[in-house]
A and B are shown apart, each in its own frame.
Chain A
């Protein structure tokens, strides 16, 4: 069936099988590969995207469910004048090693900062608890999200 998804602000109309998962729609039809397929079983959060601003696991949603809705991927964070403060903060604070979980972590961070511009360490840990990182031990991810919040508050 034909669906239109607003992907990072641009309307994408494609024919899909109803069983197409949103993550595959984004990667193959949208040709945006920043959204990763990790566990593929709703456990790891590597496929996190924002659906109308709310973080969800795109491996556990059908593309047809996103028809008419706005999806933001990590590529959508980038600003005209350069990196999003979260992207800059992940770089600055060494919030990634292999980078596989990073898009999900940044999108969850973006949604958190939208609701709570100055989260505590506990707030951040709670928010990212559906996203798994196997490299960093989370310390620097937490630091990066809080640093981005501080940066966004002053800019």
Chain B
């Protein structure tokens, strides 16, 4: 291993302590997660004793996404949290069995932390929200609703099934896809026309574009936009800031069900609209690794595959190789740990990825 995804010493110590705490929890016979207890029973080493630092997590090898497909889902619920109400969120799933992740409070914690990064001037407390993103088994719908509630607002939601959109694209039914997108946008327009109190919104990049083809955000009273859910290019970033926002705040994010939510680096013209994200340390770590040697973190500025490690009491997922690539980014003042620049579909898989409107 050529290095880890951080430089700030205080944060490194805090991360190592967090790693020890999370490993102790998930591998303890009293509080542990059935999946990991079973996993440990087949090891000839004891994770609780031998995992002392973040680097030690390499001993687990890469987390296999197949482990998250299919049941029993309760094998992922830590015994220490088994008495709590459990959610299950799914990712992907337009064909075959989707990956699923259990959640209890993580989505609330992630979005409460994210809330701290939103400027109140543009995302006023008490303002209502429009959630213009996927509904159904996705975490995003509940998470944005919680964000709104946490900030004293109410979230208005639309129905959007991204799996149907992907099927339409695969069937070549582009006109039907456009009609479905129009149906989703119609729902959003109805909400905005009927409820003056909506000042903040979440939207995927494509739905944000489509909404702005129909209305002016300024005239609709929107002052803050939280945007994410799919790949965002630097050119889209610029286009959104210069032509769609009309003075509203633009908060691009990178998130998924398995990680949580990565926040963007505050806008700096010197970045030429590159989209730079920092993970919610120490609850998750994002690294950029050599695709052919995934334990090797690439140098700053170099391109590699995104590797995710999630470290919460609800979910332990070491060394998961995402289907994304990015450049490794230096820490910044606000986030003194490694970030990622311009996340996009991993080029070796690019031909098989269908993103659709969501």
Q: Do A and B come from one complex?
A: no
